[in-house]
Amino acid sequence: MTEAEVNDALQPLMGLPLQCLGRAANMLWAHFGEMRETLSPLGQKRETGEWALHVQCPWRICQSGRIVVARGDFYYSPSGDPLDDWDTFGKSAFDVTVAKLGGGFTDSPPHVTMIRADDIGGFSLQLTGDYQLNVFPADSYIDREHWRIFRPGAQHKHFVFR
């Protein structure tokens, strides 16, 4: 996959607000654009953004030269202690930080202002408020999914980077 293909796949995010962040186990999800009601694959109503980004490789969100939250935060408590039950929602540093960020995002969500892809599937989204989301595939397994972007609830093909 080329840098241009990754840039093209992410282009729909340009100018959209990052509405919310969360996780499913140790997969980051981020919703961009206006929030709307859609149906899950199981037919249940849920609120999603126009676009969703699912990340299963290393990632971080930075602001003003510091890491605000990153993939490793799934596995530690807010005080920095390793968690045996990291997948219990609400206990991890990730959960606590994202809950705090969510309040600020509700009032004034940061918007995507620039997209920079590299030639190995990594990318950075520059956002207002001096935020930056960095995604960087960090293993050589050919058939492992690193990230995907798609329109929840739409019959639209997912762009999947392996």
Dihedral of the alpha carbons of 39, 8, 127, 125, in degrees to the nearest 10: 100
The model carries a pTM of 0.93
Domain count, the chain: 1
Residue-by-residue pLDDT tens, the chain, 162 positions: 789 999 999 999 999 999 999 999 999 999 999 998 888 778 889 889 999 999 999 999 999 999 999 999 999 999 999 999 999 999 999 999 999 988 778 788 999 999 999 989 999 999 999 999 999 999 887 788 999 999 997 777 898 998
Q: What is the pLDDT of residue 38?
A: 83
Q: Is 135 left (phi over 0), alpha (psi -120 to 50) or beta?
A: beta
Q: Are the C-beta atoms of 16 and 33 separated by less than 8 Å?
A: yes
Give the per-residue pLDDT at 93: 97
Write out the two tokens for 39: 């149906």
Q: Domain span at residue 54? A: 3-161
> Residue 124: CB partners within 8 Å, gap ≥ 6?
114, 115, 116, 132, 133, 134, 135
